[in-house]
Chain A
């Protein structure tokens, strides 16, 4: 139990470090900068074990978002979206049994248990939802079709690629 908690804490620290020192320092020019806003915290929310109770999932998601807000001075924006993701995510993963075939002690992750296509949809839907809500709150809905939607699409795809890469680098694949 303590071991798995420490592993998730380590994952969170790694995500913060990558966001802080890598993603936030990539500059692609003033004109296109709005298209590159990946928020890697969603990886932590997506990887939380499905066996976690709904209430704990919400509390952990809020705490993760709130700490992210503290690091990146976005005061409440990540917390609001993370809490919502924590609340909604439970309904899509509650039927997955975390105990069989994805032992965290063996450095395995449960995300591939329902097959690759399920994982891709699961990742893309929640990454997209996170970015859409975060960018909408951040920009207060201004220029929704000209800036928020394109930024959501591009940032979702970038974050999706980074998460797949990190998942393959950190965890061993696990299937039923």
Chain B
């Protein structure tokens, strides 16, 4: 022990030098605007690169489950193929000549960072403005709805997760009733369960009903799974159900997601803003 102290004493000038240099560097980073910006932008880039590398390593080990998810999704798409159906000839039939116009486009993205243990969780994705990503776009995984994009840089974007007590709400559809009702939110407790709010207790809701995105779920196409009703409670003093939904997404395991690009979004927003302008001018 004595020899350790002796050694440290003999190197006192080096320790002093390192300490004072560290203090100076902290002062440079803390108090100089230009240096602060440089430091934060570079450490952010570095941490993103480390996260990406880390994520790619884990991706490799998660290939099996990812493969299974892709297989299931493929199967689902295959079931919808036209070749699966046979034309049944009838004596009387109608012809609907319909022109299909594409509304949604999807971009695959990798999850770089993801949290589930906070009250307000966010997900960082490896797609940014260079891929055409914008704020407000929906994000879903093969299992279901994941979140909405809130911040975008050149190569990365941050999505507010469904597991966010303040930033995420969605108007769902109850698949079995084919009816758009209530709001899905997270209460900040268990990341496997969501709450379905504002549904009148006199509605014929049942446990096991599937909750999916509705035509009014902004930024998402219809019928993307959100979850399944697991429990329903009513209180005599309250007007609404207390419905618990088992989330269709395991948020701890999401690795690959799709970002939804609504090709009509700007047109709709423009129309709505014109209407708003008119109503404010002539109330």
- A residues 126-176 near B (Cβ < 8 Å) are 137, 140
**Chain B residues closer than 8 Å to A110, beta-carbon distance:** none
Determine the chain A residues whose CB is within 8 A of the CB of B31 once the complex forms: 75-76
Contacting chain A: which of B10-18, B189-197, B211-219, B261-269?
B10-18
Which residues on B sit within 8 Å (CB–CB) of A53?
13
Evaluate contact between A55 and B13: CB separation under 8 angstroms: yes
Please tell me if the beta carbons of A140 and B20 are within 8 angstroms of each other in the complex: no
Contact with B along A73-108 (1 / 0, CB 8 A): 011110110011011001000000000000000000
Q: Is the CB–CB distance between B34 and A79 below 8 Å?
A: no
Distance, CA A33 to CA B12, complexed state (A): 41
Find out whether the CB atom of B32 lies under 8 angstroms from the CB atom of A55. no
Question: Which of B21-29, B73-81, B94-102 forms part of the interface with chain A?
Answer: B21-29
Interface stretch, picked from A6-14, A19-27, A43-51, A58-66, is A58-66
Find out whether the CB atom of B35 lies under 8 angstroms from the CB atom of A65.
Answer: no
Q: Which A residues are in CB contact (< 8 Å) with B21?
A: 80, 83-84
- Which one, A55, A62, A80, A87, contacts B28 given CB within 8 A? A80
CB–CB A83/B24 < 8 A: yes
Of B13, B25, B26, B38, the contact of A58 (CB 8 Å cutoff): B13
Kindly identify which residue among B24, B27, B38 contacts A140, using a CB–CB cutoff of 8 Å: B38
A80 to B28, CA, bound (A): 9
**A79, B38: Cβ atoms closer than 8 Å:** no
Please, how many angstroms separate the alpha-carbon atoms of A77 and B13 in the complex? 21
Write the nearest CB–CB distance from A98 to chain B, whole angstroms.
18
A62: which B residues are within 8 A, CB to CB? 20, 23-24
A79 touches B24 (CB 8 A): yes
B17 to chain A: which residues have CB within 8 Å?
A: 58, 83-84, 86-87
Q: How big is chain B's contact interface, by range? A: 10 to 19
A54 an interface residue at 8 Å Cβ cutoff? Answer: yes
Interface residues of A, count at CB 8 A = 22
Point out the residues of chain B lying under 8 angstroms from A55, CB to CB: 12-13, 16
State whether A79 touches B27 (Cβ < 8 A). Answer: yes
B264 to chain A, nearest CB (A): 44
Whose C-beta in chain A lies nearest to the C-beta of B25?
A80
Nearest opposing residue in chain B for A139, CB measure: B34
Q: Which of B24, B25, B28, B35 has most chain A Cβ within 10 Å?
A: B24
Q: Which of A66, A77, A86 contacts B32 (CB 8 A)?
A: A77
Enumerate chain A residues within 8 angstroms of B29, measured Cβ to Cβ: 76
Instruction: Note all chain B residues with C-beta closer than 8 A to A90.
Output: 13
In the bound complex, how far is the Cα of B34 from the Cα of A59, in angstroms? 27
Chain B residues lying within 8 Å of A76, measured Cβ to Cβ, are 23-32
Q: Is the CB of A65 within 8 A of B16?
A: no
| Contact in complex: B20, A59 (CB < 8 Å) | yes
Q: Decide if A65 touches B13 in the complex (CB within 8 Å).
A: no
Shortest CB-to-CB span from B89 to chain A, Å, is 75
Q: How far is the CB of B56 from chain A (nearest CB, A)?
A: 30
Min CB distance, B10 to chain A, in Å? 11
State A137–B29 Cα separation when bound (angstroms). Answer: 11
A59 to B20, CA, bound (A): 8
Which residues of A are in contact with B by a Cβ distance under 8 Å? Answer: 53-55, 58-59, 62, 65-66, 69, 74-77, 79-80, 83-84, 86-87, 90, 137, 140
9 tightest A-B contacts by CB? A76-B27, A80-B24, A75-B31, A76-B28, A79-B24, A54-B13, A62-B20, A87-B17, A76-B24
Of the A-B pairs whose beta carbons lie under 8 Å apart in the complex, a sample of 24, sorted by A's number, is A53-B13, A55-B13, A58-B13, A58-B17, A59-B16, A62-B20, A75-B27, A76-B23, A76-B24, A76-B27, A76-B28, A76-B29, A76-B31, A77-B24, A77-B28, A79-B20, A79-B24, A83-B20, A83-B21, A84-B17, A84-B21, A87-B17, A90-B13, A140-B38
Binding site for A on B (CB under 8 A): 12-13, 16-17, 20-21, 23-32, 34-35, 38
